[in-house]
Amino acid sequence: MPHIPFGVDMDLLSGALHNPAHHLVRKASDMRGYYADANALDALIRTGNDPLHYEVFEAPIPRESGDLMVCISALQPGRVGEECFMTKGHYHTIARTAEVYLCLRGEGLMLMKTAGGDCAVETMARGRMVYVPPGWAHRSVNTGPEPLVCFCVYPADAGHNYGDIEVQGFPKRVIRKNGDIQLLETAL
Ligand code: F6R
Ligand code: ZN
């Protein structure tokens, strides 16, 4: 891909980018193993017609050192059992790479953890930026009734490493119970 300046149009409400180079779609069936209540996820897949979980639209940028990847994502509202819809979460393959998330719509939480056992949680809301430092795995969680739409920028060669997350998850799970958002400690 040639390195020439370009611009792209984005729909900041739905969280879409026109003519993306990549369009990642994750449905409920792609999330097996990630939620505490596997039966509730199975029921959602069967009776809810395997609903959309989240989408990520990436701009046409080479995954090369020196470039910055730009993407916009929309995480749908909903729950699996009591647990709020969330992304899989990942480390960056090149651990020294950070990421900036600018929230454009909705409400949520960003769960972050390091391989050394540190954990952090930041709120996400329209107009709020969350900085994910190098070495921190990150997962977004939609705690509200609308799609959680975010604009992200990170080094284009960072890569995604799902590492221990499918098995171990994060030190906290986010549930909505009786209308309240609660953070549950998990036994890691
Ligand atoms: C890129 C990034 C986001 C996520 C997106 C999907 O480094 O953090 O664009 O890729 O939120 O999350 P995962 O990849 O964890 O399914
Ligand atoms: Zn990332």
In this prediction, residue 3 carries a pLDDT of 87
In this structure, what is the dihedral angle of CA atoms 2, 132, 119, 169, given to the nearest 10 degrees? -30
Radius of gyration, CA atoms only, the chain: 16
Average pLDDT, integer, range 157-171 = 93
Instruction: Say how many Å lie between the CA of residue 107 and the centre of ligand 1.
Output: 17
Assess whether pLDDT exceeds 60 at residue 1: no
d(CA 121, CA 138): 10
Tokens of 48: 């809810």
Assess whether pLDDT exceeds 80 at residue 183: yes
pLDDT tens digits, 109-162 = 999 999 999 999 999 999 999 999 999 999 999 999 999 999 999 999 999 999
Average pLDDT, integer, range 168-178 = 96
Q: Which atom of ligand 1 is nearest to the CA of 26?
A: 16
In this prediction, residue 57 carries a pLDDT of 98
CA distances from 55 to 26, 29, 52 (A): 6, 14, 8
Q: What's the pLDDT band for 166 if we cut at 50, 70, 90?
A: confident
Is 27 near ligand 1, meaning CB less than 6 Å away? no
Q: Taking ligand 2, which is a single-atom ion, which protein residues have CB atoms under 5 Å away?
A: 99
Instruction: Say how many Å lie between the CA of residue 90 and the centre of ligand 1.
Output: 7
Q: Which atom of ligand 1 is nearest to the CA of 54?
A: 6
Instruction: Say how many Å lie between the CA of residue 45 and the centre of ligand 1.
Output: 22
Q: What's the pLDDT band for 187 if we cut at 50, 70, 90?
A: confident
Residue 88: what residue type? Answer: K
CA distances from 137 to 28, 68, 154 (A): 21, 19, 13
Closest-CA residue, ligand 1 atom 2, reads 152
d(CA 45, CA 144): 21
Is 97 near ligand 1, meaning CB less than 6 Å away? no
d(CA 154, CA 132): 10
Please check whether residue 39 is in contact with residue 171, taking contact to mean a CB–CB distance below 8 angstroms.
no
Q: What residue spans define the domains of the chain?
A: 10-185
In this prediction, residue 100 carries a pLDDT of 98
In this prediction, residue 2 carries a pLDDT of 58
Residue 41 backbone phi and psi in degrees, to 5: -65, -45
pLDDT tens digits, 45-87 = 999 899 999 999 999 999 999 999 999 999 999 999 999 999 9
> What architecture does CATH give domain 10-185?
Sandwich (2.60)
Instruction: Say how many Å lie between the CA of residue 134 and the centre of ligand 2.
Output: 10
Assess whether pLDDT exceeds 60 at residue 188: no
CA distances from 71 to 81, 116, 148, 164 (A): 29, 28, 14, 24
